[in-house]
Structure 1
């Protein structure tokens, strides 16, 4: 019987289209409680039942179980049961089930198409999408962020139009990423993304070369501040010359656009400031990472090597080429090494003679 009533209440002609699902559920729930209360009172007054028996009869009747151990015996009691339970109660329960199914279906659909209002707090907010293979880039970024213990369980929300037609890819959904379809210029979408409760926001540049993309990033940063975000905003910037301007207008961490290396943005999120050091390794200006090939294998501890190189003012060793395996190893603290080449961060004034000075410092 409930299945027939459910299909009837699910028909378009019977739906309450002028109210929200939330109001509909609330109204129906109150109606069910009212009908049940009225029936319990009727059974106690008309049938002389104890409260416990009246509650039991009401419960078994409204869910259409009807064990038959209790039932109304008087005409007035039977009429009350028909009026309250069969006409009012069961119909309303069927409608309530219909409303619950509608609500669940609607919420799942809105989450899938990016129109759901997420109630996230202390989350990572990613805005826009990187150029190139956006899905692969985002997956690598999320993996790098989640690898850090302070961000392992942090919610991640993506505000973008990239998946408006295709929905969020499974690769991102499986990593716990949720999304809102839209942009920072869309007030409703921005509200759903909750930037005022975000732990950190990262604004992607849509291009690695077009300076107009920086203008769009700047507009997004301003909108985030206007929406109440007081925490760090990381903003990708095409031209290094625009870094200061972005910083003055609200971006706490302007970073170079490196869509081939999402690890740089991940460092900016989990370890603010470290991305600036990484960026320097990609340029020929300022300090540079140099490979210094040694005339013969050097053996000793990493601490001894650090002391000699840094003490001579040559630079900072960050890794070495293992003479035994040919692998490049970084910062092997606490053990002896056999190196046939070193990797040093060397300043402008020491780059010309870096190899000669290193050989002398290591007494090779």
Structure 2
């Protein structure tokens, strides 16, 4: 009993403690004034019951005042009703204040990124080098699913920016290299993690991205769950380092614009082609599909694909992590190969997957 009381009073500053205490006090006052009203009025009001008196006390304390029962004696009016009015208004005001305080505190903690995320199947974006960049990524992610939950984990934001609030993007404040911060973002129940470079102009940020990726993979191993992670790499020389963290995907920021500039110069209009392939908001996108064939030639696969009604094209193969775009016609398909497909949207790919096993090479 003593241990329970110590635990109870140790939490006296918590909202639940204040709320429960106020409710207990309100219940005790309700019973006390109900009993006092009954003894003060039972001889003056024929048929008055204790239940009626308890009802009167509740109606009076909450300032509802139905008027179905009221004091008629001097004791009932001045020694019972008056204190009931004053204390009732006080306890109700206190209850409303506790509830309002809790709501304000919750909103403040959520805005400042201190709340634990309850989403499942959400996308976590680590670091926020610029709000516009995060918003562009969010728009791409939500093109096919406008209600996809997105959580940003960053330590350079004092509170959730208004732009994120408008887009319904949640925020966890802290460095993503800290395990407790990632657990606060409910990483175990997430469907993917995007790790952005803290400073796109500083190649040294790759080291922190590597550390974040390692933490994510370790959390996934401890939970027995595979977490899909994509990392933005500033310096191509750090690609090998990133693969040691067992990152699922790497995107090289350095040199990408240089290559696009050269391509546009040599092949005018190629920029528009790459732009369409790199966005989910228009045109077709690139997908990878598990192969259902252990043998056959690539040209035979392409011919068979043309027989189907879905707007899907097979343009290459992924073999042991290496990409083979537009391979030779006689290229043999091997066990474990993945097909690189071009399709209008995810639904086309899902439909095509069910038909893929029907293709005979």
Mapped pair 1:249 → 2:245: yes
2:232–2:252 contact (8 Å) kept in structure 1: yes
Mapped pair 1:140 → 2:136: yes
TM-score (norm 1): 0.58
User: How many Å separate the matches in 2 of 1:253 and 1:272?
Assistant: 17
User: How many Å separate the matches in 2 of 1:102 and 1:197?
Assistant: 30
User: How many Å separate the matches in 1 of 2:207 and 2:278?
Assistant: 19
User: How many Å separate the matches in 1 of 2:132 and 2:209?
Assistant: 21
User: How many Å separate the matches in 2 of 1:112 and 1:68?
Assistant: 45
> Which residue of 155, 161, 164 maps to 1:169?
161
RMSD (CA atoms): 4.2
Relative to structure 1, is the Cα distance of residues 265 and 181 closer, same or farther in structure 2, using a 3 angstrom cutoff?
Answer: farther
SS in structure 1 of the partner of residue 65 of structure 2: coil
Counterpart for residue 53 of structure 2: 54
Structure 1, gaps ≥5 residues long: 1-16, 276-302, 315-329, 333-364
Q: Give aligned pairs, total.
A: 261
Counterpart for residue 17 of structure 2: 23
Structure 2, gaps ≥5 residues long: 1-10, 43-47, 258-273, 289-310, 316-325, 331-341, 345-361
Relative to structure 1, is the Cα distance of residues 68 and 263 closer, same or farther in structure 2, using a 3 angstrom cutoff?
Answer: farther
- 1:47: Cα distance to partner? 3.9
Counterpart for residue 92 of structure 1: 91
User: How many Å separate the matches in 2 of 1:37 and 1:44?
Assistant: 11
Counterpart for residue 209 of structure 2: 217
Q: Deviations over 1:165-198 (max 9, x none)?
A: xx43332221111112221245654343221222
Q: Deviations over 1:280-339 (max 9, x none)?
A: xxxxxxxxxxxxxxxxxxxxxxx9x999xx89959xxxxxxxxxxxxxxx989xxxxxxx
User: How many Å separate the matches in 2 of 1:264 and 1:170?
Assistant: 31
Counterpart for residue 39 of structure 1: 33
User: How many Å separate the matches in 1 of 2:277 and 2:230?
Assistant: 11
Counterpart for residue 232 of structure 1: 228
